[in-house]
Every structure is written in structure tokens, then in C-alpha cells.
């Protein structure tokens, strides 16, 4: 018998599942894979990686010689299993088709994410904006969930392929082994994406540092030029009898002095390459 139902409905299957196993399943304590003499228990956290990654729910799978049960934590995970469930096949093949469906479109999904991260990376070269940082954080969270999702699926398939109790026939086991190899490939891609997003985030931080340095450079230039001019203004603004006040060219002298000070500082900073 094959069936998909919610975890709250476990009591309806007391005739098919041992009561002690039922209580264990109700608690949701199954982690990846647990093999017993007469049955297997498979558990993993499902995420809507093609939509809102915050949508999640645990999926438990019970497999014995005659039954295959998909036990879902909530309606979201129930709909996900229902979408991937292929009736009309033996239990082992149905299990393989279900896992194969979990990986369908994964490569295309990550290629699209890679293109989006690359676009953000190019935009950073044009300057930092708050929306870019928000996009990086959103992408980082998404990639982390995808990496976690495929990592646990890879671990599940590793354990399922051990088939210590012989519940899975040899032909299906070959299919599952091939799927396990694909899972490892998908996992390596997700790890690459995680590293790529971290590199883009570091590039954004470096760009912020560059922009801050440029701002401080301009601030230093303006301050360095204005300080001696302020000193000149303060000097000649004192209410004292100064010889320059009686000099016919005193006004022109102050103007020339101010211009020379500005020119000297500009030449100094230009020589040091601060205007490059």
C-alpha cells in the first residue's frame, strides 16, 4: 500500500505500522535515515527552494516489504509530496521517482542564481547601494538553505543505498546510486554558490572601504587647504594695528598669499597621487 498523509493522521494506520514506531514518528525524531530489520525510516526537512525558502516542513518516509508511507508535517510538505508522487509503480520505484523529482530542475535553479549573483557583482563595481546589500543578504540566505537542503538529501541517499536490510531491489538500487552521484554533483554546485555569494559580500565590503577612503581623502584635502586660509583670515581679522593695513598693496598681498597656499597644497596632493 502507498499513501500520503499528515503526521496528525498517524493514528489511522495502527494496523499497518507498529505502535512503538507510530509514537516515534509522531515525535518527528527521525534524522536522515534509520534502517531496521523489517522497515526503513527516512526523514528530512523539505524546503520550497523554487519559491519561498522560508516555507518548510518535515517529510518522513516509512518503507517495509508491502507499504510505502509519506508522512508530512504540514500542508506545504503534503502538497510537495503529492506533486512528486507517481502512482502505478512498485514501492521501490515510487521511492526512487520521488527522490528523482526532488532534484528535477536543481541545476537550472542554481545556474539562474549564479547569473543573479554575477549581476550583483557587476553592479558593485559601479558603487555601493543599500539595495545591493539587501540583495546579497537575500541571496546568501537562499543559497544557505539550498546548500543545507541538498546536503541532507545527499546524506539520505548515501544511507538508503547501503540497503542493509535488503528492502530495495537491485535494479532500483542502481537507479538510487546514480541519483546519489547526481546529488553529490548538485551539492558541490550549491557549495560553490555559497562561496561565490560570500566572495561578492566581501567585494561589497571592500567597495565600501574604498568609497570611505575616497571620502576621507577629499575631506583631508579640503581641511588641509582651508586650515591655513582660516589662519590667514583669523590673523588679519584681529583688531590690532598691523603694518600691512597701512601698505597700499596689503589687500593684493593677502589675496596672493591665499592663492599661493591653495596652489601649494594642491601641488602637494597631486604629487602624492591623491587626485588620480
Q: Walk along the chain (276 residues) in steps of 10 and give the mean pLDDT of each run.
A: 85 78 73 80 89 86 88 90 86 91 89 87 74 82 89 89 86 90 88 87 75 68 75 69 68 78 77 67
Beta carbons within 8 Å of 75's beta carbon, 6+ residues apart = 6
Report pLDDT for 204. Answer: 77
Rounded Cα distance, 52 and 180, in Å:
26
d(CA 263, CA 270): 10
Q: 70: Cβ–Cβ under 8 A, 6 or more apart, which residues?
A: 3, 4, 5, 59, 60, 61, 81, 85, 98
CB 139 within 8 A of CB 197: yes
Res 99: pLDDT: 92
* Size of the chain in residues: 276
Q: How far apart are CA 254 and CA 245, in angstroms?
A: 11
Q: Specify the pLDDT at position 259.
A: 83
Instruction: Return d(Cα 234, Cα 177) in angstroms, integer.
Output: 84
Amino acid at each position: 500500500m502507498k499513501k500520503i498523509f499528515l503526521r496528525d493522521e498517524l493514528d489511522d494506520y495502527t494496523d499497518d505500522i507498529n505502535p512503538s514506531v507510530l509514537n516515534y514518528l509522531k515525535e518527528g525524531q527521525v534524522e536522515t535515515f534509520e534502517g531496521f530489520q523489517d522497515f526503513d525510516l527516512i526523514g528530512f526537512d523539505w524546503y520550497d527552494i523554487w519559491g519561498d525558502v522560508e516555507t518548510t516542513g518535515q517529510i518522513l518516509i516509512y518503507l517495509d516489504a508491502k507499504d510505502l508511507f509519506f508522512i508530512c508535517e504540514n500542508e506545504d510538505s503534503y502538497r510537495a509530496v503529492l506533486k512528486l508522487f507517481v502512482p502505478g509503480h512498485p514501492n521501490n520505484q515510487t521511492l526512487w521517482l520521488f527522490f528523482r523529482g526532488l532534484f528535477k530542475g536543481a541545476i537550472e535553479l542554481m545556474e539562474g542564481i549564479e547569473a543573479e549573483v554575477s549581476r550583483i557583482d557587476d553592479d558593485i563595481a559601479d558603487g555601493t547601494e543599500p539595495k545591493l546589500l539587501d540583495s546579497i543578504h537575500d541571496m546568501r540566505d537562499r543559497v544557505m538553505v539550498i546548500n543545507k537542503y541538498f546536503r541532507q538529501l545527499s546524506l539520505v541517499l548515501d544511507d538508503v543505498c547501503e540497503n542493509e536490510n535488503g528492502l530495495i531491489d537491485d535494479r532500483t538500487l542502481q537507479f538510487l546510486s546514480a541519483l546519489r552521484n547526481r546529488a553529490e554533483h548538485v551539492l558541490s554546485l550549491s557549495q560553490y554558490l555559497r562561496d561565490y555569494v560570500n566572495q561578492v559580500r566581501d567585494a561589497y565590503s571592500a567597495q565600501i572601504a574604498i568609497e570611505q577612503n575616497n571620502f576621507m581623502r577629499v575631506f583631508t584635502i579640503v581641511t588641509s587647504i582651508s586650515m591655513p586660509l582660516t589662519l590667514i583670515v583669523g590673523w588679519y581679522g584681529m583688531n590690532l594695528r598691523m603694518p600691512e593695513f597701512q601698505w597700499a598693496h596689503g589687500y593684493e598681498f593677502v589675496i596672493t598669499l591665499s592663492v599661493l597656499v591653495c596652489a601649494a597644497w594642491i601641488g602637494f596632493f597631486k604629487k602624492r597621487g591623491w587626485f588620480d
